[in-house]
Amino acid sequence: MDKKADERRMTRRDFVGLVSKGAGLFLFGGLIGRLLHRSRGKGLVWQIDPSKCIQCGRCATACVLQPSAVKCMNDFSLCGYCRICFGFNTTDAAAIDEAAENQICPVGAIRRKFVEGPYYEYTIDRALCIGCARCVRLCKSFGNGSFYLQIQRDLCVNCNECAIASGCPAKAITRIPVEQAYYRIS
């Protein structure tokens, strides 16, 4: 036999060793894949707990999306439909009206609609809201707390490591079951 052919010839021991290494790599890759799949949090979504939120304003800038996936919500069961809404008007407003200089929202995302008597309904224009929390902070301080922040599931890309959650000083952002989707104000 030729010496080169003899060197290229694989022995049974070499073959079994190669197959064992391949099987070990396959099992190791499967284990890593399974762990990564679990860590992704299947069935879980990121959400803000309104009872823990301190309205720091970081949601507007820390999100990987611009504008942020965090939007203000108004719980109408708590809302007093007030003439003066401190989530809408600044505390030192010259007049109680819709003029930009009298509004707390920097982008005009809060809409005021006359209902009756001295009552108004305040709604949030989701497309305009940047999640800055200015309205939420004042509504909690001077009003009834019906404004709160929530991560909108249809906008959120459900990052494996949420940039807002890692930067939240109050640790108000956690993963919750997808069936729950949103926290309720307590």
Q: Which residues, 6 or more positions from 90, have their beta carbon under 8 angstroms from its beta carbon?
A: 102, 103, 104
Stretch 100-128: mean pLDDT: 88
> Which of 121, 129, 136 shows the shortest CA–CA distance to 152?
129
Q: Is the pLDDT of residue 108 over 80?
A: yes
Q: Which residues, 6 or more positions from 102, have their beta carbon under 8 angstroms from its beta carbon?
A: 89, 90, 93, 94, 95, 96
pLDDT in the model for residue 117: 80
Torsion of Cα atoms, 25 then 28 then 29 then 32, to 10°: -160
The model's pTM: 0.71
Q: 32 pLDDT band (50/70/90 cuts)?
A: confident
> Which of 160, 159, 162 shows the shortest CA–CA distance to 172?
162
pLDDT in the model for residue 42: 63
Each residue's pLDDT tens digit, 74-95: 988 888 777 788 888 888 877 7
Q: How far apart (Å, rounded) are the C-alpha atoms in residues 96 and 83?
A: 8
Q: 141 pLDDT band (50/70/90 cuts)?
A: confident
Domain boundaries, the chain: 3-39, 44-177
